[in-house]
A and B are shown apart, each in its own frame.
Chain A
Amino acid sequence: MPRENIMRFIRTRFFPHIFCPGCGHGIAVHAMLRAIDSLGYNPQDIMVTSGIGCSGRIPGYINANTLHTTHGRSLAFATGVKLAKPNLKIIAVMGDGDCAAIGGNHFIHAARRNIDITAIVLNNYIYGMTGGQVSPTTPHGAKATTAPYGFIEQQFDLCKLASAAGAVYVARTTVYHVAQVERYIRKAIQKKGFAFVEVVSPCPTQFGRRNKIGDAVKMMQWLKENSIPLSKAKRMSPEELENKIVIGEFADRDAPEYTELYGELRNRIRGEGA
């Protein structure tokens, strides 16, 4: 049971929740709420947007300003909210398909624009809610309902993508590394600009079962055994890194933030600036 100060961020009114047994999303959400609480925010300071699918349902259970949008559009809606209310701390939650397939364009451009949004992708390598179809992060060779013979495409590395597109903070971890999830999200929220945290989250129902990894406990073990810290991964060959989860901080830099730049532009035009 979460502590009382965490409970103020949870809408128990809407329980029971819809997540399957063994789903990793609850762990990630709890870590996110601890991060928010540790930074001293209140529910009214926080805005959580989401797209579609299992991760899309997360904001409904969070007591804050919450908006459940269309598939892939979490960041595009969040951009409008942020520009209208720059003082809100915006967290955009996405699934892997949400972020990298249908929402890929918004993802790279929000990163390029460097708008102050904390983007969290809960990557479970699969389309869970729609029944286990492949996603852009499904590992090469894995099985899905739309890849019954194994997935022949290459897996997307979302952290490399975010970093190349201009995100000022980029990190990846798994729900097994729960303290790290909280720490990375806390850093992402504190970072001014587009910050991206990828949290690998097990989906025993659609991914684990179909790919013979096993139940929730076995999937946690799988996350533990297959995770390689970035420092170690740097010394490994691409072959050794195949199907491994490289965890760590991929980018942490500073760059001009979009809403601030627009505010300055507005002041300049109106002759109120420096």
Chain B
Amino acid sequence: MGKVVFWQGNRAIAMGAIAAGIRFFAGYPITPSSEIAEILSAELPKVGGTFIQMEDEIGSMAAAIGASTAGLKSMTATSGPGFSLKQENLGFAIIAEIPVVVVDVQRGGPSTGTPTKPMQGDFMQARWGTHGGFPLIAISPSTVRECYDFTIEASNLAERFRSPVVILSDEVVGHMRERVELPNESEIKVINRKKPTVPPEKYLPYLADPEDDVPPMAAYGEGYCFHMTGLTHNEWGFPTNDPEKIEAMNLRLLRKFEKGKNLLTRYSTFEVEDAEILIVAFGCVARSAMRAVREARKEGYKVGLFRPIIVWPFPDEPLREIASSVKAVIVPEMNIGLMVREVERAVAGRCPVYSLTRLDSDILTPSQIVEKIKEVA
């Protein structure tokens, strides 16, 4: 067992970033994410890293990507409205294939909404917020320990897939404090991006390894002179209008996630073996749902919980398999009913899917979920 701490979720994300080897953070203050910037402004220089408070959210995202192109593991953090401003450059990171971690500590929306209260309204924004419709990775913690672990995992996935990775946290998880047993340093696995093995004059920045469809990534300032652009490009990184090249690049962006599917399918289950009713919940609501399962079981209802951990790509197949053996699925979430659409798509008619939402900016309680279980059963 490692050190025992009493940490806030946002602190766990900041310290997880340090443990992951993230050495650059650019941010702009926004509730309820600001503690991440505040803590990293103190911690990064201690480990030789760099913190900068940029002039706005767009600049923060740009600087984080810039630092990553120059070889540093890099992160930014924000909340809903700020996440919206980052979306254009999130698309840049997708097409230029730049590893970067973007934390979104969700708050109530739309717009300025309720900054100090929780909602889960950015579930779709995380996946579809940027233009173009191409995939990225999003991971959602429910506990403070997970904030730590998943930040390391987010960084690892970003490096492995040369992709932006979103940490979809929320105000409850970000601000609550928990006793956390940190892992020993020896238990922490850190992945670094694949570097080119060819000499500089032979390097093509977008020539992918056929095995995983991820191109090795040189860093600016290390002797390799190469070009990167947000325009659709060929293997040289040079803009192209050749339909064949355009299609090849676009298909490869999809294929690298297909090929890495086993690394991108992460979920947890609780009491699903004999379940007749399945709850599907993520983030802070998964905590209420776990309690609801326990309480409903005491009253004789056979209920289980399925929690998507990597929420994008959505864990379609494992969910579909479990849904095939239950009578109903309930999706409690603190938004107008966003994840329920993904669940319906994954379940594909194998059983009825019920939505349970709460929009008054208070957390969905276990008793609300138990009530819904009784209604459906």
The verdict on B220 contacting chain A, using a C-beta distance below 8 Å, is: yes
B220 A65 Cβ-Cβ under 8 A: yes
B218 to chain A, nearest CB (A): 9
The verdict on B92 contacting chain A, using a C-beta distance below 8 Å, is: yes
Set of chain A residues within 8 Å of B230, measured between Cβ atoms = 68-70
Taking A65-B220, A80-B62, A80-B63 as contacts, is the C-beta distance between A88 and B70 under 8 angstroms? yes
Set of chain A residues within 8 Å of B45, measured between Cβ atoms = 262, 265-266, 269-270
Most buried by A among B55, B56, B68: B55
Set of chain B residues within 8 Å of A84, measured between Cβ atoms = 24, 50, 66-72, 74, 221
Partner of B63, one of A14, A57, A76: A76
A81 B69 Cβ-Cβ under 8 A: yes
Total B residues in contact with A, Cβ cutoff 8 Å: 43
The verdict on A155 contacting chain B, using a C-beta distance below 8 Å, is: no
Total A residues in contact with B, Cβ cutoff 8 Å: 40
- A41, B70: Cα distance in complex, Å: 19
Look across to chain A and name the residue whose beta carbon is closest to the beta carbon of B221: A85
From B153-161, B167-175, B180-188, B231-239, give the one contacting chain A: B231-239
Partner of B59, one of A64, A68, A106: A106
Look across to chain B and name the residue whose beta carbon is closest to the beta carbon of A67: B228
Taking A65-B226, A80-B26, A109-B55 as contacts, is the C-beta distance between A47 and B48 under 8 angstroms? no
Set of chain B residues within 8 Å of A88, measured between Cβ atoms = 70, 220-221
Look across to chain B and name the residue whose beta carbon is closest to the beta carbon of A74: B62
A69 B62 Cβ-Cβ under 8 A: yes
A85 B220 Cβ-Cβ under 8 A: yes
Q: Mark B188-202, 1 if CB is under 8 A from A, else 0.
A: 000000000000100
B56 A105 Cβ-Cβ under 8 A: yes
The verdict on B54 contacting chain A, using a C-beta distance below 8 Å, is: yes
B320 to chain A, nearest CB (A): 38
Look across to chain B and name the residue whose beta carbon is closest to the beta carbon of A265: B45
A115 to chain B, nearest CB (A): 9
- A5, B54: Cα distance in complex, Å: 38
The verdict on B264 contacting chain A, using a C-beta distance below 8 Å, is: no
Interface residues of A in 255-273 (CB under 8 A from B): 262, 265-266, 269-270
B249 to chain A, nearest CB (A): 15
Set of chain B residues within 8 Å of A231, measured between Cβ atoms = none
By secondary structure, the B interface counts as mixed
Q: Mark B29-72, 1 if CB is under 8 A from A, else 0.
A: 00000000000000001101010101110110011111111111
The verdict on A60 contacting chain B, using a C-beta distance below 8 Å, is: yes
Most buried by A among B48, B54, B89, B220: B220
Set of chain B residues within 8 Å of A73, measured between Cβ atoms = 58-59, 62, 89
Partner of B239, one of A60, A66, A262, A266: A60
Set of chain A residues within 8 Å of B66, measured between Cβ atoms = 49, 67, 69, 76-82, 84
The verdict on A13 contacting chain B, using a C-beta distance below 8 Å, is: yes
Interface residues of A in 32-70 (CB under 8 A from B): 43-44, 47, 49, 57, 59-60, 63-70
The verdict on A237 contacting chain B, using a C-beta distance below 8 Å, is: no
Taking A70-B62, A70-B89 as contacts, is the C-beta distance between A85 and B70 under 8 angstroms? yes
Partner of B67, one of A14, A81, A105, A270: A81
A80 B74 Cβ-Cβ under 8 A: yes
Taking A47-B220, A80-B26 as contacts, is the C-beta distance between A109 and B229 under 8 angstroms? no
- A59, B50: Cα distance in complex, Å: 26
A262 B62 Cβ-Cβ under 8 A: no
The verdict on A83 contacting chain B, using a C-beta distance below 8 Å, is: yes
Partner of A266, one of B26, B48, B55, B58: B48
- A76, B52: Cα distance in complex, Å: 11
Interface residues of A in 108-127 (CB under 8 A from B): 108-109
B299 to chain A, nearest CB (A): 55
A43 B228 Cβ-Cβ under 8 A: no
Set of chain B residues within 8 Å of A65, measured between Cβ atoms = 220-221, 224-226
A163 to chain B, nearest CB (A): 18
B238 A83 Cβ-Cβ under 8 A: no
The verdict on B212 contacting chain A, using a C-beta distance below 8 Å, is: no
Set of chain A residues within 8 Å of B231, measured between Cβ atoms = 68
Look across to chain A and name the residue whose beta carbon is closest to the beta carbon of B55: A109
Taking A81-B70, A109-B55 as contacts, is the C-beta distance between A66 and B62 under 8 angstroms? no
> A residues engaging B (CB < 8 A)?
11, 13-14, 43-44, 47, 49, 57, 59-60, 63-70, 73, 76-85, 87-88, 105-106, 108-109, 262, 265-266, 269-270
Q: What are 24 A-B residue pairs whose CB atoms fall within 8 Å in the complex?
A: A13-B236, A44-B225, A47-B221, A49-B66, A60-B239, A65-B220, A65-B224, A66-B226, A73-B58, A77-B63, A79-B62, A81-B70, A81-B220, A82-B66, A83-B24, A84-B69, A85-B70, A85-B219, A88-B221, A106-B55, A106-B59, A265-B45, A270-B45, A270-B48
Give the 4 A-B CB pairs with smallest separation, nearest first.
A80-B66, A76-B62, A80-B63, A84-B70
Extra pairs beyond A43-B225, A81-B69 (6, CB < 8 Å): A13-B236, A67-B220, A73-B58, A73-B59, A77-B63, A80-B69
